Amino acid sequence: MKYSVDENGFYGKFGGAYVPEMLYPNVEELRQNYLKIMAEPDFQEEMQSLLRDYVGRPTPLYFAKRLSEKYNTNIYLKREDLNHTGAHKINNTIGQILLAKRLGKTRIIAETGAGQHGVATATVCALMNLECIVYMGEVDIERQAPNVARMKMLGATVVPATSGSRTLKDATNEAIRDWINNPEDTYYIIGSVVGPHPYPDMVARFQAVISEEMKAQLLEKTGSENPDYVVACVGGGSNAAGAFYHYLDRPEVKLVAVEAAGLGIDSGESAATSVLGKEGIIHGSRTLLMQTEDGQVTEPYSISAGLDYPGVGPLHAHLHQSGRAIFESITDEEALKAVLELTRLEGIIPALETAHALAAIGRLGAKPEEVVVINLSGRGDKDLATYLERFNLDGK
Amino acid sequence: MENRIQKLFAQKPQALLSVYFTAGFPNLEDTVPIILELEKNGVDLIEIGMPFSDPLADGPTIQQSSEVAIRNGMTIPKLFEQLKDIRQHTQIPLVLMGYLNPVMQYGVERFLQKASELGIDGLILPDLPLSDYVREYKALFEQNGLSNIFLITPQTPEQRIREIDTHTDGFIYMVSSASVTGSTTGQSVVNTSYFERVNGLGLRNPGVIGFGIHNHETFTQACNHASGAIIGSAFIKALAKEGSLTENIKTFIQSIRLKENA
């Protein structure tokens, strides 16, 4: 079984580029150039130096002693939360902004759910002095206010997406429409392993630095590059793609993708695409997506804005269908419990998205001698308002 | 055998008017009445929009009409049910326009057969890639006598326009400028150099211009550079007005044709 993308942009039967003709030249330009530009020595040099000195890579691989004791196994946290801007998202935006510059683009657009990708994009735009427009669902603007403020402070224009469910799906629609309207000077920095080929592959490659570092760090700490489990949360799936990347062809490493069950799989308020989705096309990609019998995309729900997406990247659809990855789903309540657990056991406040991965530890059945790596994709600063309210910490 | 689109263009029409509407908008059962009124008012070709929740190539007007239509209960089976006797009432060329996902869920092969049975002449599926069409579906379209209409834009390279021209048999939908549907930012849609460049290619298929055509002026401008023009969002806005469907359609089409009738 092959897990990397084929020459037509497919992972098994998933992927491709189902875009209107208006987008064809943009997507094609990117397809023809991304691998070539990424291989150029000066591109690599600039990217590596920024990842080291600006983002703060490599991120630590931390042995979580008290968490490990609790679950009677060996748990390591890959600390993507310690990246500049607080999540893994910047690994990808650094890569794509350098690509955009080399393609001569002057205007940058992005979509965002939790705001982490929006902040990461606004950050690199400030760094490179490029105009930045971020589309964000109206609902998400409300529940992720700190990130909206950060984007504005960084000089980005935040445009509310007011159509549909007014969340990540609709922000993505609006960004795509902007790109149709501005085909020549604009570069679209997609934040996850979704969208038309080559985006899923390109974003996975930029995030692959996560598992590349993990291999070396695990070798040093455990004597083997391979853990028994790699666990990551999945909305679109970029942090999971990065954490899985270098282990895809090592079947002895179990890959665990954790989706948001929202209020419960059968509640009608969920975002667990692998369970509830059917094959179809969303945002230019053939993948699994939540939809009605008539092919209308349904509105997902999760407490976590970053996982509140009705589709999943085509790589993950393939990992699901081929059985290469184990898919779990975690409810809002379970995720919140995991937030508090990590905070109190390890002194780390995780993002709500990341908490879904943490909440799955108990389901792994990991043995005392086994090694589990959780990709700690982001920190919880942006979710403090939710935490205060849900944990009754605001004194009311 | 020629379908009605091919017959229409074989007559080398000038200033052809094609109108798009979203099936199920403003009301679920308006589909057939709108088709018949459009024909009565001298429209040449009709594009029936199959509403989709995430219409990427469409601006706010068609997005909103799609939302309403879906809420009203419009589905592909429902639309097919409404159209089951349509050919007993009109011979106007009919094109179904929509996004690939709902068609995939219905089943592409089953969809094409059913459309053909009902007397549909063509399809516009903006997110069906040319390469997939050629590889998987072209033979099925041809068996069912359906034209697959492709879009081109000012950014489409000549080689790709020629490739599209080879694989389609109806007309080529010339998107007037880089935009989603319903953009009326400029009064003018005359992207003369683009239209003339396309006209100079000596294509097999006629061109029809769409996107941004919203009144008599823009319609006339477009017709100076192509066989005709397509109006969508502006027509949907007219349908949403107070008053009867019949009156709204009549008033709108007259406002587009204006000087020819005068």
* HSE-up (13 A, CA, CB side) for residue A86: 21
Contact indicator for B90, B35 with CB cutoff of 8 Å: yes
B 167-186 residues with CB < 8 A to A:
175, 178-180, 183
Contact indicator for B97, B49 with CB cutoff of 8 Å: yes
How far apart CA A81 and CA B100 sit, in angstroms, is: 39
Q: Tell me if A6 is assigned to some domain.
A: no
Contact indicator for A182, A193 with CB cutoff of 8 Å: no
Q: Tell me if B214 is assigned to some domain.
A: yes
How far apart CA A95 and CA A102 sit, in angstroms, is: 11
Query: Which range is most confident: A391-395, B134-138, B256-260?
Result: B134-138
* From A24, A163, A294, residue closest to B75, measured CB to CB: A294
Kind of pairing between the strands at A285-289 and B94-97: unpaired
Q: Which of A198, A218, A246 is the last residue of a domain?
A: A198
pLDDT above 90: residue B184 = no
How many folded domains does chain A comprise?
2
How far apart CA A122 and CA A125 sit, in angstroms, is: 5
What is the CATH number for B92? 3.20.20.70
Give mean pLDDT, residues A211-216. 98
- What is the pLDDT at residue A143? 81
Give mean pLDDT, residues A70-80. 98
Element (H, E) at A107: strand A107-112
Give mean pLDDT, residues A322-346. 98
Cβ neighbours of B2 (radius 10 Å): 13
Residue A60, classified by CB atoms within 10 Å of its CB into exposed (0-12), middle (13-18) or buried (19+), is middle
A242 and A364: one domain?
yes
Q: Tell me if B57 is assigned to some domain.
A: yes
Give mean pLDDT, residues A360-369. 98
B26 CA: distance to closest CA in chain A (Å): 18
Q: Which residues of A220-234 are buried (b: 16+ CB within 10 A; e: fewer)?
A: eebeebbbbbbbbbb
pLDDT in tens, A134-156: 999 998 998 888 999 999 999 99
pLDDT above 80: residue B189 = no
Q: Which domain holds residue B20?
A: 14-178+188-256
* From A164, A176, A280, residue closest to B101, measured CB to CB: A280
Give the 3-state secondary structure of A273-311. HHHHCEEEEECCEEEEECECCCCCECCCCCCCHHHCCCE
A222 and A324: one domain?
yes
A365 and A386: one domain?
yes
Residue A131, classified by CB atoms within 10 Å of its CB into exposed (0-12), middle (13-18) or buried (19+), is middle
For residue A226, name the pLDDT band (cuts at 50, 70, 90). very high
Distances (CA, A) of A394 to A20, A342, A386, B142, B204: 49, 20, 11, 67, 71
Element (H, E) at A219: helix A209-222
B59 CA: distance to closest CA in chain A (Å): 8
For residue A395, name the pLDDT band (cuts at 50, 70, 90). low
Contact indicator for A58, A217 with CB cutoff of 8 Å: yes
Q: What pairs with residue A207 in β-bridges?
A: none
Mean pLDDT score across all residues of chain B: 94
Q: What pairs with residue A77 in β-bridges?
A: A62, A374
Q: Which is more confidently placed, A255 or A139?
A: A255
| Chain B residues within an 8 Å CB radius of A310 | none
On whether the pTM is more than 0.90, the answer is: yes
pLDDT above 70: residue B188 = no
How far apart CA B103 and CA A133 sit, in angstroms, is: 33
Q: Tell me if B55 is assigned to some domain.
A: yes
A138 and A68: one domain?
no
Q: Tell me if A12 is assigned to some domain.
A: no
A221 and A135: one domain?
no
A132 and A166: one domain?
yes
- What is the pLDDT at residue B262? 42
What is the CATH number for A155? 3.40.50.1100
pLDDT in tens, B20-58: 999 999 999 999 999 999 999 999 999 999 999 999 999
Q: Tell me if A5 is assigned to some domain.
A: no
Q: Tell me if B7 is assigned to some domain.
A: no
Q: Tell me if B48 is assigned to some domain.
A: yes
pLDDT above 80: residue B185 = no
Q: Tell me if A276 is assigned to some domain.
A: yes
Q: Which residues of B110-133 are buried (b: 16+ CB within 10 A; e: fewer)?
A: ebbebbbebbbbbbbbbbbbbebb
A364 and A296: one domain?
yes
A276 and A162: one domain?
no
DSSP-based helix, strand, coil % in chain B, nearest 5: 50, 15, 40
| Chain B residues within an 8 Å CB radius of A22 | 57, 151, 153, 155, 175, 178-180
Q: Does B157 touch chain A (CB under 8 A)?
A: yes
Least confident window among B139-143, B177-181, B235-239: B177-181
Distances (CA, A) of A116 to A14, A63, A329, B34: 26, 25, 22, 47
Give mean pLDDT, residues A72-85. 98
- What is the pLDDT at residue B179? 83
pLDDT in tens, A80-89: 999 999 999 9
| Chain B residues within an 8 Å CB radius of A297 | 53-54, 101
Distances (CA, A) of A330 to A244, A363, B19, B134: 19, 10, 48, 42
- What is the pLDDT at residue A2? 86
- What is the pLDDT at residue B186? 55
| Chain B residues within an 8 Å CB radius of A194 | none
* From A21, A164, A278, residue closest to B153, measured CB to CB: A21
Q: Tell me if A203 is assigned to some domain.
A: no
A257 and A339: one domain?
yes
Contact indicator for B13, B44 with CB cutoff of 8 Å: yes
A190 and A335: one domain?
no
Q: Which of A229, A213, A257, A246 is nearest to A353 (CA)?
A: A257
Q: Tell me if B216 is assigned to some domain.
A: yes
pLDDT above 50: residue A185 = yes
Kind of pairing between the strands at A325-331 and A254-262: parallel
Q: Tell me if B196 is assigned to some domain.
A: yes
Q: Which residues lie closer than 8 Å to B235 by C-beta, 6 or more apart?
A: B19, B20, B21, B252
Q: At what angle do helices A116-128 and A89-102 cross, to 10 degrees?
A: 40
Q: Tell me if B219 is assigned to some domain.
A: yes
For residue B191, name the pLDDT band (cuts at 50, 70, 90). confident
From the candidates A89, A105, A169, A382, which is the catalytic residue?
A89
Q: Which domain holds residue A332?
A: 56-86+208-391
**Cα A234 from chain centre:** 7
How many folded domains does chain B comprise?
1
Q: Which of A272, A304, A392, A387 is nearest to A339 (CA)?
A: A387
A310 and A382: one domain?
yes
Contact indicator for A4, A10 with CB cutoff of 8 Å: no
Mean pLDDT score across all residues of chain A: 96
Give mean pLDDT, residues A357-363. 98
Strands across the sheet with A157-161, in order? A157-161, A131-137, A107-112, A186-189
Cβ neighbours of A47 (radius 10 Å): 20
Tokens of A255: 């890959």
Q: Tell me if A8 is assigned to some domain.
A: no
For residue A396, name the pLDDT band (cuts at 50, 70, 90). low
pLDDT in tens, B102-115: 999 999 999 999 99
